[in-house]
Amino acid sequence: MSVLIFAELDEGKIKKSSQEAIFYGTKVAEMTGTSATAVIIGPADDAELASAGRFGATKVLHAADAKLTEPNGMAYATVVAAAAQQEGSKVIVLAKSSLADAMTARLAGKLKAGLAANVIELPNLSNGFQVKSSIYTGKAFAYNDLKADVKILAIKKNTITPEEEDATASVEAFAPILNDADFVISVKNTEKSSGDILLPEADLVVSAGRGLKGPENWGIVEDLAKALHAATACSKPVSDLDWRPHSEHVGQTGIKISPNLYIACGISGAIQHLAGVNSSKVIVVINKDADAPFFKSADYGIVGDVFDILPRLTKAVQAL
């Protein structure tokens, strides 16, 4: 019996959020006196698969069927369910993502499992199995008592900081039976956002709003992001005006992020925007309007013109 962790790949590499999930699952395994097994779906080389051991997994089940090359929530749920049954897993851990959202309900139905999403702490086992979740876009918490025999935990990004060790996991080929029903929904192609660092995985994000006055001024945002090795983002009005691609829109109707640092430049801080970013560990707001609502949610604030502040901030970062 083992804790099973589903680890997502991005271009053959284990995603950072999944590294966190593996480490989290390893800690749960230690708490319950079992081992940690990762299940990885899609093409990846043996060295990358074995690297799951750096975060505590002792074994990796690798499903490499050519039909699973493109992420498919229905088929992937079947694979993970089969892995859980083979390993006798009572706890299944995965990082919350768009793919995970498509999988978890199906997986819970297949295994008759209890499900908790946006989990932010290790479980409390003192009186059953209780986990703490972030709800209402981070404004409140829920304590979930999972009473089903099998538990599924979808971990919120940046919940836990993984510790690496010099270890590798054993890798085993895994080929569960798949049928046509698993591919009723098929993925024809996947279009990914451009950029060196993608928003859902970014630890640092530099974002801007209408205070930039136009797309021609975005160079100062990109310069700061490049200096910080950060991803770039924008508010909804900016994407609606086609100043920036919609893939950079963060907010209630856009991408929800939880980086270690979020720098908001020329963004007033409407509640819809806050809903997508208030899980950030540190928020820095730069705005010339001292009464901008965003300052109420900021950890640090700079009252000043972004056209003056950003170049100076970029030079300071480069000097470091």
User: Do the annotations mark residue 271 as ligand-binding?
Assistant: yes
Confirm whether residue 106 is marked as ligand binding.
Answer: no
Please check if 287 is assigned to a binding site: yes
What are the residues whose beta carbons fall under 8 Å from the beta carbon of 320, sequence distance 6 or more?
A: none
Three-state helix/strand/coil letters over 58-97: CEEEEECCHHHCCCCHHHHHHHHHHHHHHHCCCEEEEECC
272 known member of a binding site: yes
Pairing state of beta strands 2-7 and 35-41? parallel
| Long-range contact set of residues 284-287: C-beta below 8 Å, sequence gap at least 24 | 286/310, 287/211
Is residue 249 marked as binding? no
Known binding residue 252? Answer is no
- Token pair for residue 96? 């919350």
Tokens of 280: 């950030």
214 labeled part of a ligand binding site = no
Copy the structure tokens of residue 182. 């698993």
Q: Does the annotation flag 267 for ligand binding?
A: yes
Q: Is 269 annotated as a binding residue?
A: yes
The total of other beta-carbon atoms located within 10 Å of residue 243's CB is 21
Determine if residue 126 is labeled as part of a ligand binding site.
Answer: no
Which residues touch 169 (CB under 8 Å, ≥6 apart)? 38, 49, 50, 51, 52, 53, 57, 58, 59, 60
**From the centroid of its chain, how far is CA 22?**
13
Residues 63, 67, 71, 72, Cα dihedral to 10°? -110
Which residues fall in the annotated binding site? 210, 266-273, 287
Residues belonging to the binding site for FAD are: 210, 266-273, 287
